[in-house]
């Protein structure tokens, strides 16, 4: 008996539907047939179809909407944690069509909080920039950056829609990052952010706060807060620890190397 024939019937139906999705025959947000319709078309029981669809929901290829039906899920971009400083490059490497829209550019004075984050005097001039990043014509990331004017002079002369912030720092200002400090937290979209990302107010987002330090000056060259739509993004991180020691319990681990694989999404 061949491997294909030996597979459970629900598994073969699961692969059939998955192929329709991955080949582009079923596009994101498309409502799929009902269990009854699949059952009649394929000549199998509804229970078998239900199990196949449940497995695809668990895999993230389908999503159920209460009272509406089952739909093809929107594809998520999986960012490696180190890629979060350059969304444009990360998406281009995945053959995703990228576009940008400059929403705001202006000069403001540093508040107490911004002066502390950027290590400048209160009242110092800083550029405030907001850029909306699109993936396959869908707005997925809102970038808000604050640049000390003295460390990034004449920023207004550059096309911010065609360049990533990271590329500008390196190629234009020769400010190679020596350290990046960043934190991520779950937030909900306020009115302004919701309108810009074209989601409902209260929509779940990932907010990444980041400070990039310049290698030459050893001071911050930008503080940014980026908002990622949670329905289009997931974050992956591999952490390798050569040695892991638990206080008061070293004997359990001995001197063996321990590798911790951590995945957050």
192-211 per-position pLDDT tens digit: 999 999 999 999 999 999 99
Q: Are residues 65 and 81 in the same domain?
A: no
- In sequence order, the 6+-apart residues with CB closer than 8 A to the CB of 123 are 109, 110, 115
Condensed to tens digits (0 to 9), the pLDDT of residues 158-188 reads 888 887 778 888 888 877 778 889 899 999 9
Number of separate domains in the chain: 2
When pLDDT is averaged across residues 236-265 and rounded to a whole number, the result is: 51
Tell me the pLDDT band of 95, cut-offs 50, 70 and 90.
Answer: confident
- How big, in percent rounded to 5, are the helix, strand and coil portions of the chain? 30, 35, 35
Say if residue 128 is in the same domain as residue 64: no
Model pTM score? 0.68
Q: What is the pLDDT of residues 25-74, one digit of tens each?
A: 888 888 999 999 999 999 999 999 999 999 998 877 888 988 889 998 87
Q: Is residue 57 part of a domain?
A: yes
Question: Cα–Cα distances in Å, from 232 out to 14, 34, 104, 259, 262?
Answer: 23, 25, 23, 29, 20
Report the distance separating Cα 182 and Cα 206, nearest Å: 13
Kindly report the CATH number assigned to the domain that includes residue 41: 1.10.10.10
In a domain, 25, yes or no: yes
Can you give the pLDDT at residue 243?
Answer: 53
Asked whether residue 131 falls in the same domain as residue 64, the answer is no
pLDDT the model gives residue 5: 57
Question: Do residues 175 and 153 both lie within one domain?
Answer: yes
pLDDT at 77 (0 to 100): 77
Domain harbouring 215, CATH code: 3.40.1410.10
Q: Which residue has the tokens 């269990």?
A: 35
Higher pLDDT, 93 or 205: 205
CA distance 17 to 32: 9
**pLDDT band with cut points at 50, 70 and 90 for residue 80:** confident
């Amino acid at each position: 008996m061949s491997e294909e024939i030996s597979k459970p019937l629900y598994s073969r139906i699961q692969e059939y539907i998955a192929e329709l999705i991955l080949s582009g025959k079923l596009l994101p947000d498309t409502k799929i047939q009902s269990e009854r319709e699949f059952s009649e078309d394929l000549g199998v029981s509804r229970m078998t179809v239900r199990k196949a669809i449940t497995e695809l929901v668990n895999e993230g290829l389908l999503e159920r909407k209460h009272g509406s039906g089952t739909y093809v899920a929107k594809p998520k971009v999986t960012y490696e944690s180190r890629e979060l400083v350059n969304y444009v490059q990360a998406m281009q490497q995945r053959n995703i069509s990228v576009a940008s829209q400059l929403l705001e550019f202006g000069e403001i004075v540093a508040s107490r909080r911004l002066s502390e984050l950027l290590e400048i005097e209160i009242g110092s001039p800083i550029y405030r920039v907001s850029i909306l990043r699109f993936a396959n014509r869908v707005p997925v990331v809102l970038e808000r950056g604050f640049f000390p004017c003295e460390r990034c002079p004449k920023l207004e002369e550059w096309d911010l829609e065609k360049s990533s912030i990271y590329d500008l720092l390196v190629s234009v200002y020769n400010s190679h990052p020596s350290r990046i400090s960043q934190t991520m937290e779950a937030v909900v979209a306020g009115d302004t952010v919701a309108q810009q990302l074209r989601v409902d107010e209260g929509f779940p987002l990932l907010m990444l706060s980041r400070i990039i330090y310049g290698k030459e000056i050893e001071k911050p060259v930008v503080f940014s807060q980026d908002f990622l739509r949670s329905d289009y993004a997931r974050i992956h991180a591999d952490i390798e620890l050569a040695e892991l020691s638990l206080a008061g319990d070293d004997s359990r681990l001995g001197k063996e190397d321990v590798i911790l694989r951590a995945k957050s999404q």
